[in-house]
Amino acid sequence: MNNKIKTVILLFLLPLFAFAQSVVTGVVTDKDNLPVLGATVLVKGTQNATSTDFDGKYTLSNVPEDAVIVISYIGYATQEIPVNGQSTINVTLADDTSELDTIVLIGYGSTTKENVTAAQTTVDEEEFNKGAIVSPGQLLAGKAAGVQVTAATGSPGEGPRIRVRAGSTLSASQDPLYVVDGIPLDAANANLNSINPADIADITILKDASATAIYGNRGSNGVILITTKKGKMSSDLKISFSTQLAINENTDEIDVLTGDQFRGILNEFGTPEEIALLGNFNTDWQDEIYTTGIQGIHNLVVEKGFEKTAVRASLNYTNQNGTLEGTGYERATLNANIIQKLLNNDLKLTLNVQGAAEQRRFTDGGAIGTALSFDPTQPVFDPNGPNGYFEYLQNNGNVDELAPRNPVGLINSLTSENDNNQIRATLIADYKVPGIDGLKFVGTAGIDYNEFDEFSRRDPNSGVGLTTGALRSNGDGYRVNQLLRGRFDYNKELESISTVMDLTVGSAFQNFQRESVFRGQDDNGIAIADQIGFNNNRLISFFGRASFDINDLFVLSGSINREGTSRFSPDQRWGTFWGANGAIKLTNLDFVQNSGFLSQLKLRGGYGVTGQQEIGQDFLFVQGRVVPSNAQAQVQLGSQFYNTLRPSLALDLKWEETYQWNAGVDFGFFEDRLTISVDGYTRDTEDLFQDGPLPVGSLGNRSLQNVGATRSRGIEVGAGLDLFRGDDFNWNIGGNVTFQEIEITDLTLGDDDQPTPINTVSGGGFNNFIGEWAVGADPTVFVVYRQVYDASGNPLDGVFVDRNGDNVINSDDRYRYKKGNPDAYFGFTSNLTYKNFDMSFTFRGQVGGYNYNNVRAGRENIDSITETTTPFLNNPTSGILQDRFQSAPLPLLFSSHYIESSDFVRLDNLSLGYRFNTDKVGIRASVTGTNLFVITDYSGLDPEIAGGIDGAIYPRSRGIILGLNFDF
């Protein structure tokens, strides 16, 4: 080949060398030199991307030598690195110092953390509580100021009670509105247990009215937005499996008399006939009905990302055996989501599907209370008793129906199950409108559907139940929640006035329908009339929001919702709810940026009006005509007619309205190593729902109506501190405290034309009417007789203060004393990592609240043991050994002696973990303890009682959990 030809060929190939493609490999680690799993590695300006594997390794093909690769991962600063012909590029990612740019959810949309103007908190996966978590609510306990999470009981499958700020209502629901992947749940079917907690990415709590007003007449109790995990685009196949084994045991028992103590006190005070009833045993009945609960939780996750598609699927199986014999919870969930980009990435479709099959196993809950009072000198088993259990029998050999039942016999005689099959699905279309920069349409269609059935059967040989035999029952039904919503979002930068404008306008329709049938039959085949339930209501809303970020310094935002609900009469159906708020981002001013210690400073404030419609019943219509409140109708099924129940709703009944002010300030110090947020609020609620006992003749038979008002105030403080930031050692702590107070400001009954002012409403939903609603008092205040004590501090038997001086102790001498709501509650958390080792814990507590110990009241006196009309004995609580009360007059039941402080500090969880890194699989082993100890002076089983009335509840257990996680 001559030189000319060679020259021509070389000139022809030169451009190809200039655009030569190569393969780039490397490892992505964090500041602790730990591999970063799932980081995106992208050739800038192209769709050519990959992601790191478990060891942080990546391989990126077809990379031009003059290209720039972009490495990004959530929580870390994005890096851009020129290739410059390199074949190996290792990267260490630094923490993202621009946390304020993080996208956070707000009502029907999102914004940056820097532009949040309302009171809201987001808790993400890294901050969630650890342990054998069954219900999503458990993830939040102690994590956010203004959010109180209380386990209702220790019963398996029973979710906690969540309160966002002090409840303002009296009779209506105080639960927040839950929104799961865009679907607002039906308050009557807000079954959070159908969501696998391991599938939740983060939970955002909207607390003040300016944030929740866009949700209209469901925003007064706060809104909780739950977002589940999604797959990532252009990511490798990832498979992970986790398993947990938990052992749960009760931490304590109610202190009642042992068999020997019981015999001793009865020999001292009892008659010969009563002493003759004593047995020779020392039976611990609580020990007989409780056991060790074993729990297993297993999760399998598969996810894969393509250029325009991301898929994630998970399978969960949970089996929890309760500490009360015969109780349990079993759940299987299958969750999947698919993200698909179309039309040159202008259209993004997101499909979320959550399916769950649940079963709760119950037993006779009366066994818990009976185990406290049943004679401890009697045996568990008796060959002459029903089914071989000791029972009190009449002379004819039948079980004495007035006597307490053998607690073990009660549990073993009942089979009861509740099954629930649920599917929740949303399809979200996010479309960038062509030709109009910044305009997009977001459409959401969703359905939340569940079918349920229940079955209960009592052993006919147990002697429990109807005199004709043991009751059998079953029921089934369905609930469906349908959603259709559309909105336009428009974001535009107005350069001439240095303002970024963000607008939202939309409409939503939601339909709720519930139907159930309950059937009963005794063992002799005698049918009990079926109970049929049907309910249907709808919501239509038109909403909008406008936000203006002015000169990157002032943020002004407002929202409005015009909403109609079929739950009320046509005249009271529509309402307007709105909120306005603003913030000053002082962070962006020179004096903050040049201070040397301030890294964040923002002032916030807002006002809003929200509603509350959860009354538990609906205003119904028949053939377009209003059904009178006293109407009753019949439906025919086959050849039989059945009565239907009609709600007693007044024509003028309307939703409660809450008016709320909020002011807050956010601080950051030393590059946000220390962050502090403080919020203060005042909330006034009017037109309260009242459903319960009323003064005689006040308003006839109208049991549900709008009554009076409440005012609540509070201060919330949340703080986080990075104690250490290093390559191998990191330690951060967080804390929050909430101070709250609430009082009833008005109890006027009736409408404005014919008001009926009163001072108190007895009952207030309290057990034994220990409380009352009173103007100027907390709704959970106790109304008691004042106990008199001797010089040594011992209560005097039957001696109470005659407060009105009439020489008679009666109801006129009762007074308001203490309250169930705490003055403050708090949480303290810690997360520590050292190389592959990690440790975290959460403390929770409260101060200033009180409990009425209804377990002790009425039990700690001699007469409660011995004065019986039938031949059986009752075991008292151990306080009788000190107090030695003889009789049980009514004032003793309502004595201030049984009002006890509910202050406590609880170690909610402590988790230790270690990660093993291998070539093929990552393994993390962990051990976690839950409810490890409680510091309190309360004499009852547990000081944390929702509402302050302590009865014989299913106790919360202590758990030890062993866990293994595998990442492939």
How many Cβ atoms sit within 10 Å of the Cβ of residue 646?
A: 17
For residues 40-48, average pLDDT: 83
Helical ranges in 681-828 per DSSP H:
none
**pLDDT for position 53:** 82
In a domain, 248, yes or no: no
Which H or E run contains 956? none
Dist CA 852 CA 857 (whole Å): 8
Dist CA 264 CA 257 (whole Å): 10
Which of 230 and 31 is assigned the larger pLDDT?
A: 230
63 and 172 housed in the same domain: no
216 and 103 housed in the same domain: yes
Checking if the pLDDT of 779 tops 50, the result is: yes
In a domain, 132, yes or no: yes
352-to-136, 199, 229, 445, 861 alpha-carbon distances in Å: 18, 12, 10, 11, 59
- Let me know if 820 is exposed, middle or buried by CB neighbors in 10 A (0-12, 13-18, 19+): buried
**pLDDT for position 731:** 95
- How crowded is the C-beta side of 649, counted as CA atoms within 13 Å? 26
In a domain, 35, yes or no: yes
Q: For residue 138, list its beta bridge partners.
A: none
In a domain, 239, yes or no: no
172 and 116 housed in the same domain: yes
941-to-404, 861, 944 alpha-carbon distances in Å: 22, 20, 9
270-to-377, 838, 863, 892 alpha-carbon distances in Å: 15, 60, 9, 21
In angstroms, the first-to-last Cα distance of the chain is 55
Whether 956 and 941 have beta carbons less than 8 Å apart is answered as: no
Checking if the pLDDT of 702 tops 50, the result is: no
* pLDDT grade for 79, boundaries at 50, 70 and 90: confident
Whether 828 and 739 have beta carbons less than 8 Å apart is answered as: no
Give residue-wise pLDDT tens across range 257-298: 999 999 999 998 888 888 999 999 999 999 999 999 999 999
129 and 204 housed in the same domain: yes
End-of-domain residue from the set 228, 262, 279: 228
Q: What is the dihedral of CA 164, 168, 170, 172, to 10 degrees?
A: -60
Q: What percent of the chain has pLDDT over 70?
A: 88
Nearest Cα residue to 714 out of 160, 151, 208, 172? 208
Dist CA 626 CA 639 (whole Å): 28
In a domain, 221, yes or no: yes
182 and 117 housed in the same domain: yes
- DSSP letter for 498, please: T
Three-state secondary structure call for residue 830: strand
In a domain, 210, yes or no: yes
Report the length, in residues, of the chain: 968
126 and 69 housed in the same domain: no
- How crowded is the C-beta side of 677, counted as CA atoms within 13 Å? 23
CATH for 31: 2.60.40.1120
| Residue range(s) defining the domain that contains residue 50 | 15-92
193 and 124 housed in the same domain: yes
Checking if the pLDDT of 57 tops 70, the result is: yes
**pLDDT for position 567:** 85
- DSSP letter for 12, please: H
Q: What contacts 24+ positions apart, CB below 8 Å, involve 586-591?
A: 587/100, 587/114, 587/668, 588/552, 588/553, 589/553
165 and 147 housed in the same domain: yes
- DSSP letter for 868, please: -
Checking if the pLDDT of 624 tops 50, the result is: no
Retrieve residue 60's tokens: 């990126």
44 and 106 housed in the same domain: no
b (16+ CB within 10 A) / e for 678-712? bbbbebbbbbbbbbbebeeeebeebbbbbbbbbbb
In a domain, 198, yes or no: yes
Whether 810 and 891 have beta carbons less than 8 Å apart is answered as: no
Which H or E run contains 370? helix 366-373
Give residue-wise pLDDT tens across range 892-948: 889 999 999 999 999 999 999 999 977 788 899 999 999 999 999 999 999 999 888
Checking if the pLDDT of 878 tops 80, the result is: yes
900-to-809, 817, 954 alpha-carbon distances in Å: 23, 11, 20
Three-state secondary structure call for residue 888: coil
End-of-domain residue from the set 202, 228, 254: 228
Dist CA 57 CA 59 (whole Å): 7
One-letter identity of residue 363: T
Checking if the pLDDT of 765 tops 50, the result is: no
Give residue-wise pLDDT tens across range 325-365: 999 999 999 999 999 999 998 999 999 999 999 999 999 98
Q: What percent of the chain has pLDDT over 90?
A: 58
- The per-residue DSSP string of 419-432 comes to EEEEEEEEEEEEEE
74 and 129 housed in the same domain: no
End-of-domain residue from the set 208, 228, 248: 228
Nearest Cα residue to 537 out of 518, 555, 512? 512
In a domain, 660, yes or no: no
**pLDDT for position 112:** 87
Whether 311 and 303 have beta carbons less than 8 Å apart is answered as: yes
Please count the structural domains in the chain. Answer: 2
Nearest Cα residue to 205 out of 930, 911, 736, 943? 736
Checking if the pLDDT of 828 tops 70, the result is: yes
pTM: 0.86
* pLDDT grade for 521, boundaries at 50, 70 and 90: low
Which of 866 and 827 is assigned the larger pLDDT?
A: 827
Q: For residue 557, list its beta bridge partners.
A: 547, 581
CATH for 163: 2.170.130.10
Give residue-wise pLDDT tens across range 626-667: 443 444 444 444 445 444 444 445 677 888 999 999 999 999
* pLDDT grade for 389, boundaries at 50, 70 and 90: very high
570-to-155, 158, 235, 564, 702 alpha-carbon distances in Å: 42, 37, 53, 9, 19
Dist CA 918 CA 916 (whole Å): 7
**pLDDT for position 699:** 38
Whether 143 and 826 have beta carbons less than 8 Å apart is answered as: no
172 and 60 housed in the same domain: no
One-letter identity of residue 177: L
Retrieve residue 87's tokens: 């074949």
How many Cβ atoms sit within 10 Å of the Cβ of residue 212?
A: 33
Whether 391 and 382 have beta carbons less than 8 Å apart is answered as: yes
Whether 662 and 119 have beta carbons less than 8 Å apart is answered as: yes
**pLDDT for position 771:** 85
Dist CA 885 CA 858 (whole Å): 10
Q: For residue 393, list its beta bridge partners.
A: 399
79 and 145 housed in the same domain: no
Chain-wide mean pLDDT for the chain?
Answer: 86
Dist CA 70 CA 44 (whole Å): 6
Q: For residue 328, list its beta bridge partners.
A: 321, 361
Which are the contacts of 440, defined by CB distance < 8 A and separation ≥ 6?
A: 430, 431, 432, 433, 488, 489, 490
**pLDDT for position 15:** 42
Checking if the pLDDT of 181 tops 90, the result is: yes
Checking if the pLDDT of 705 tops 70, the result is: yes
